Amino acid sequence: MADLDGFPPPSVAGHTGAIRSVVVGDRRTLVLVGRSHLYEGLGVDAVVHGVRTAAAAGCSVVVLTNAAGGVDPELVVGGPVLIADHLNLTGYNPLVGPPAPTGPRFLDLTECWSPRLRALARSIDPSLPEAVYAAFLGPSYETPAEVRMARALGAGLVGMSTVLEAIAARQLGVEVLGLSLVTNPAAGVVAAPIDHADVLAQGQAAADALGHLLVEIVAASSGPALS
């Protein structure tokens, strides 16, 4: 990524900062291995540069993945969850500023997370749960009080990414699917501290199974895709 304009090198462990073009089924797929987070201090444009670049390159479907804390105690640690909707609690929006040359400024996000793609994912794995994803700024983990607030607002997941990218992709007319991996119970859900090393370990342990699921989803979707 760092060899291309607009792509800063990721500074977070687990994000290798590579871009690959691969064939999945009969789909040409652009894979971004790593992302920029708002808490890295590089601004909103750096966070959404990847999806905007993918859209400009012709991608019509974006699959966004993340590691998330489980607010809903019924969500299984190490398991994937479809994002059904989101709460943007970061205080930022990629559409702020002068009107974009393409796409609406006042964007309808009613179907931000594609019902078609979520139904497709459930047809591949009927056991997939769905939840609302609450995005916080980070990088500190959410407090138990913030987790209780998120749950009262209807969230089942908390994290520090993904939502700004989804908004930017939808402005460009790209269809979006979100898939969270629950790497830990959110603060206060269980009486245990949150450790980033444990988050990474859960991600690595689930990588193969999640990868196979992504391959099936991308191969079954219509049009080129980004994951």
Tell me, yes or no, whether 8 lies in a domain: no
Tell me, yes or no, whether 3 lies in a domain: no
Tell me, yes or no, whether 9 lies in a domain: no
pLDDT in tens, 142-173: 999 999 999 999 999 999 999 999 999 999 99
What pLDDT, on a 0 to 100 scale, did the predictor assign at position 29?
92
What pLDDT, on a 0 to 100 scale, did the predictor assign at position 4?
86
Residue 160's domain comprises 18-226
Q: How confident is the model at residue 191 (pLDDT cuts 50, 70, 90)?
A: low
What pLDDT, on a 0 to 100 scale, did the predictor assign at position 200?
74
Tell me, yes or no, whether 53 lies in a domain: yes
Tell me, yes or no, whether 10 lies in a domain: no
Q: The pTM is what?
A: 0.90
Beta carbons within 10 angstroms of residue 28's beta carbon: 14
Most distant CA pair in the chain: distance in Å? 49
The CATH number that applies at residue 103 is 3.40.50.1580
Tell me, yes or no, whether 148 lies in a domain: yes
Instruction: Give the total number of structural domains in the chain.
Output: 1
Residue 223 pLDDT > 70, yes or no? no
In DSSP terms, 131 is beta-bridged to: 83
As a whole number, mean pLDDT of residues 215-224 equals 77
The amino acid occupying position 89 is L
What pLDDT, on a 0 to 100 scale, did the predictor assign at position 13?
67
Tell me, yes or no, whether 13 lies in a domain: no
Residue 105 pLDDT > 50, yes or no? yes
Tell me, yes or no, whether 203 lies in a domain: yes
